[in-house]
Structure 1
Amino acid sequence: MRTLTPALRGDVITGIAVTLVGAVYYIATFWIQETKNIVTPRTFPAIVGIALIVLGLFLIGQAVYRSRKLAEVVPAGAASASSGASGVASGSGAADSGVEDEPAGVVLDAPEEPKSKQVVLQFALFFIYLGILIPVGFLLSTAAFLMTMTSIYAPHRWIRNLIFSVLFSVIIYVAFVYGLAVYLPVGILG
C-alpha cells in the first residue's frame, strides 16, 4: 500500500480524532439519568455521538479511497511515461513534435483557501444570528441567517437559496416542536 500524501494523512488523523471524540461522547451519554419520556435527556447527545462516529469513519474511508485512486493513477502514469520513452527511441511522431505524453489520470485540485474577510464575516453573521434568535424567533432568524450564508457562496442563485433557507428552517422547527417536543423560540411570530 502506498503512503498517504500529507493532505490525506491529515484527513485520516482528523477522522480518527472525530471518531474517538464521538465514541467518548456517546459513552458519556450512559451516565445521563433516564426518564420515562419517549425522548430522554440522553437522546440528543447520543445522536450527536453516533453522528460524530459515522462522520469520522466516513472521513477516514474517503481518505483511504482517494489514496487508492491516486495509487492507481501513478503506476498508469509511470507506464505511459515509459512507453513514451520507447516511442521517442523508435522515432514516433511525439518525439518529432517535441510534445511529451502526459500521464493520464485524475487531478485533484486543492480547495481555495478561505478569504480572511469572508471568514470574519461568517463569524459576525453567526453571532448576530445568536443575538436575534430569541427576540426574533427561530423560524425568521434561521431563515435569514441561512439565506445570507448561502448567498455568500452563490449570490446569483437567490431563489434556490431562499427556498432552501425557508424549507430547512420549517423542517427543523417541525421536527423539534412536534417530533421531539422541544420548543424553540417563537419570537415576533408568537
Structure 2
Amino acid sequence: MNKNTISGMVILMFALIYTIMAFRLPASSSNTAVIGPSVFPAAIGILLIITSIMLIGKGWLEQRQQHGKTEPENPMEEEEEKQDPKKVFVLSLLLLGYVLLFFPLGYLLSTALFILSVTMFLDREHWIRNVIYSLAFPGIIYLVFDRVLAVYLPLGPLG
C-alpha cells in the first residue's frame, strides 16, 4: 500500500467517527431554527468520507500503475513523497484527541487546542502566528455559526 491508500484509510476511519458523532448532536431547542445543529458538521463529515474514498482510489490506481514499473522515473521525486510514519502517527493521535475532546471541552476550546497543537508540531518557529490562528479561526467560525446561521456549537465548560 502506498501513502495515499494508508492516509485515505486513516482519514476515512476518523471521518466515519466524526460523521456518526455529528448525527448524534441533539436537536435544536429553538422552534425558529430552519436547520438543525447537525447539518453542517454532518455535511463536512460526508464530504470528508467522499474525499477519503477518492484518496484511497487514487492510491490504488497509483499502485497499479507502479506495479508494472521497476524503477521510478525521477528518483529524487520518489524520495520527496515519502511520509514520516512518526509524523502521520502523531497527527492521527492529535485528530483522535480532538474528536474525543470535542464535546467535553466544547467547540471553541477543543478546536483552539487542536489547531495550536498541530501547528506547533508542524512549525514551532512561527509560534506567534500559530497562537493567533488557533484563537482566531475557531472564534470566527463560532460567530458565523452562532450569529449568522443560528447553529449552536457545543460550548463545554464555557457554556
Indicate whether the TM-score tops 0.5.
yes
SS at match of 1:47: helix
Give the partner amino acid of 1:145: L
Structure 2 residue aligned with 1:111, among 80, 84, 103? 84
Q: In the aligned structure 2, how far is the partner of 1:37 from the partner of 1:57?
A: 32
Partner of 1:156: 125
Q: In the aligned structure 1, how far is the partner of 2:125 from the partner of 2:18?
A: 38
CA contact (8 A) 1:73 1:104 kept: no
Are residues 6 and 23 of structure 1, via their aligned partners in 2, closer, same or farther at CA, if it must alter by over 3 Å? same
Gaps of 5+ in 1: 79-101
Give the partner amino acid of 2:142: Y
SS at match of 1:103: coil
Q: TM-score, normalised by structure 1?
A: 0.49
SS at match of 1:37: coil
Q: In the aligned structure 1, how far is the partner of 2:45 from the partner of 2:60?
A: 23
Partner of 1:57: 50
Query: How far off its partner does 1:177 sit?
Result: 3.3
Q: Give aligned-pair identity as a percent.
A: 14
CA contact (8 A) 1:176 1:182 kept: yes
Higher relative contact order (CA 8 A, sep 6+): 2
Partner of 2:33: 38
Partner of 1:94: none
Calculate the aligned-residue CA RMSD, in Å: 4.8
Q: In the aligned structure 2, how far is the partner of 1:163 from the partner of 1:147?
A: 10
Are residues 147 and 44 of structure 1, via their aligned partners in 2, closer, same or farther at CA, if it must alter by over 3 Å? closer
Give the partner amino acid of 2:43: I
Are residues 59 and 143 of structure 1, via their aligned partners in 2, closer, same or farther at CA, if it must alter by over 3 Å? closer
CA contact (8 A) 2:6 2:56 kept: yes
Gaps of 5+ in 2: none
Larger Rg: 1
Q: TM-score, normalised by structure 2?
A: 0.55
Partner of 1:72: 65
Q: In the aligned structure 1, how far is the partner of 2:124 from the partner of 2:110?
A: 18
Give the partner amino acid of 1:164: Y
Partner of 1:166: 135
Query: Is 1:48 equivalent to 2:21 in the alignment?
Result: no
Are residues 159 and 16 of structure 1, via their aligned partners in 2, closer, same or farther at CA, if it must alter by over 3 Å? closer
